[in-house]
Amino acid sequence: MSWYENAKQTGKNEGRWEALQELRKKEGEAANKTKQACMEELAKEDPKNIYYSSNLIRDFLADFYKADYDGDGRVSLHELCQLWRPNDEKAYKKLEEEFKAVEVTGDDKLTLAEFFILGFLGDDRKNNYQSAKKVDS
């Protein structure tokens, strides 16, 4: 390899290394944002009489994997719409609003943590535990 080709190759490799570093930095920032938002939600304590059916939890978690049509491990609003099929503009707008409320990393996709911790636990807490069973003993 000539000195020119050598230098060109080195530059390319350095460019790739920098791009890879930038990508890792962005992934790290997204993971931190998700972690922080999820930890804030998990730190909130529910009333002692709140219970969720395991089948409800299973169905919600299964919907994440069913909706991940492209298999990238994250769910976009488009993918959720393919699964849940909001039947009118109002239902779509509500889903879009809820999606944006739990999408904390700014990549327009939900990880399983965003989907379940923020989208299920957090959303139900904010809606006065509509999906929960309240058991008073």
Compute φ and ψ for 66, nearest 5 degrees. Answer: -65, -40
Report the C-alpha gap between 135 and 115 in whole angstroms: 26
| Residues in region 45-84 near Ca ion by CB under 5 A | 68, 70, 72, 74
**Binding of residue 14 to Ca ion (CB under 5 A):** no
Nearest to Ca ion of 34, 132 (CB atom) = 34
Nearest to Ca ion of 77, 132 (CB atom) = 77
Residue 96 C-beta: closest distance to Ca ion, Å:
17
Q: State the Rg of the chain over Cα.
A: 21
- What's the DSSP call for residue 83? H
Q: Which residues would be at the binding site for Ca ion (CB under 5 A)?
A: 68, 70, 72, 74
